[in-house]
Amino acid sequence: MYLPAHFQAKEDGDILKVISSGGAVDLVSNFSGKLNVSTLPMLHRPFPSANGNSMGTLVGHLAKANPQLRDGTGSDALVIFRGPTGYISPAWYPTKLEHGKVVPTWDYIAVHVYGKLILHDERDWKLGLVTELTNHHESSFDKPWSVSDAPADFIEGQLKAIVGVEVEVDRVEAKFKLSQNRSRAEIDGVILNLRLLGHSELADAVEEACSSKD
């Protein structure tokens, strides 16, 4: 990852917030020189993995018919997380009127997690995973759905159609490109216009990343 110093995360907690979301990620794996990629939700288990890795693991599942599973346990894997992202117009910069030497850009948060792929086809492991995923995403609902709400034989059939995937985290790279290289006046213009467009999550991220900018 190309990572200028001014786009580095301020604290590890900022990175953890992104990878703890449980949202959709891109899982890229490599076997025999061929790249494969799938989009899926993955959860971060922060406790040490079975091999003692203190950075924990990422877990999710793929359809058993997915050819990416041919990469197999031990393949190199990259998991790509994305935070808020959006187009930044040069029209939002006061400097456009001063000298016109401005161009568009894109602000974003990206976290790349590297590790080894592990496949799980054990029934109990997969049931534990889908229960964990479900509970995570249903937790904000007034009447959350539970895996046990569905007929047991139906769930068993669903489990047979998936394979669990786990990535033991070896290395993490994170880029928070949030206008930190702009002047205070330009940053304020970015935040204002993002809010006017309803992009409050990205506006909040820019505001936080640039809070110490004079």
Each domain of the chain, given as residue ranges in start order, spans 5-83+107-180
Instruction: Average the pLDDT over 43-52 and give the result.
Output: 74
Question: Which residues neighbour 29 within 8 Å (Cβ) at sequence distance 6 or greater?
Answer: 35, 36, 37, 68, 71, 75, 76, 77, 78, 117
Label residue 125 exposed, middle or buried (CB < 10 Å: 0-12, 13-18, 19+).
middle
Provide the pairing of β-strand 24-31 with 162-177: unpaired
Q: Is 80 exceeded by the pLDDT of residue 49?
A: no
Is the model's pLDDT at 50 over the cut of 90? no
- C-alpha 6/C-alpha 74 separation (Å) is 35
Higher pLDDT, 97 or 178: 178
| pLDDT at site 46 | 86
Q: What are the two backbone dihedrals, phi and then psi, of residue 153, each rounded to the nearest 5 degrees?
A: -70, -30
Backbone angles phi, psi at 133, to 5 degrees: -60, -45
CATH 2.30.110.10 applies to domain 5-83+107-180: yes
Q: Is the pLDDT confidence value at 96 over 80?
A: no
Band of residue 53 on the pLDDT scale cut at 50, 70, 90: low
